[in-house]
């Protein structure tokens, strides 16, 4: 069975400080991993994905994520948070080679960046 855990419902950080939003996963075989962000009253926006290759993936808006196979983690990071980064973040996984397209999501982490 495939699943994603986002252990923190809420993350609070001051503007200018680094931020980390945690994600761990469980999948049969190799994972394909995705991060999405939902701003208030908006849909899910794609941030970045890990398919293969370099464990550090760079995405939109200055975000990056590090794939760690031994820890089955895919934490989202940003060196310097902005107030405008405040949003709901979702991690998702799909098994590599799966013939099914469905994504498995975590519960989401609410990020609040205060001025």
Partner 1 sequence: EAGVTQFPSHSVIEKGQTVTLRCDPISGHDNLYWYRRVMGKEIKFLLHFVKESKQDESGMPNNRFLAERTGGTYSTLKVQPAELEDSGVYFCASSLYRGSTDTQYFGPGTRLTVL
Q: Which residue has the tokens 């049969």?
A: 28
CB of 68 to partner 1, least distance (A): 20
Choices 17-25, 54-62, 69-77, 103-111; region in contact with partner 1 by CB under 8 A? 103-111
What CA–CA distances, in Å, run from 35 to 103, 107, 114, 115? 11, 12, 22, 24
Task: Please tell me the distance from the alpha carbon of residue 26 to that of residue 23, in angstroms, as a whole number.
Answer: 10
- Specify the residue, 44 or 82, whose C-beta has the smaller distance to partner 1: 44
Minimum distance from CB of 78 to partner 1 (Å)? 20
Site for partner 1 in 21-50 (CB under 8 A): 32, 34, 36, 41-46, 49
| Contact with partner 1 (CB under 8 A) among 55, 98, 112, 114 | 98
Cα three-residue angle 95-54-92, rounded to 5 degrees: 35
- Is residue 56 part of the contact set for partner 1 (CB under 8 A)? no
Q: Is 22 left (phi over 0), alpha (psi -120 to 50) or beta?
A: beta
Q: Which residues bind partner 1 (CB under 8 A)?
A: 4, 32, 34, 36, 41-46, 49, 51, 90, 92, 94-108
């Amino acid at each position: 069975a495939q699943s994603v855990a986002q252990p923190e419902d809420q993350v609070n950080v001051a503007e200018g400080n680094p931020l980390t939003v945690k994600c761990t996963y469980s999948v049969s075989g190799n994972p394909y991993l995705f991060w999405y962000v939902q701003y208030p009253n908006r849909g899910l926006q794609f941030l970045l994905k890990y398919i293969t290759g370099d464990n550090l993936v760079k995405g939109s808006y200055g975000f990056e994520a590090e794939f760690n196979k031994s820890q089955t983690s895919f934490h989202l990071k940003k060196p310097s948070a902005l107030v405008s980064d405040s949003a709901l973040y979702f991690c998702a996984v799909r098994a590599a080679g799966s013939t099914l397209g469905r994504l498995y999501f975590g519960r989401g982490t609410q990020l609040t960046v205060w001025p």
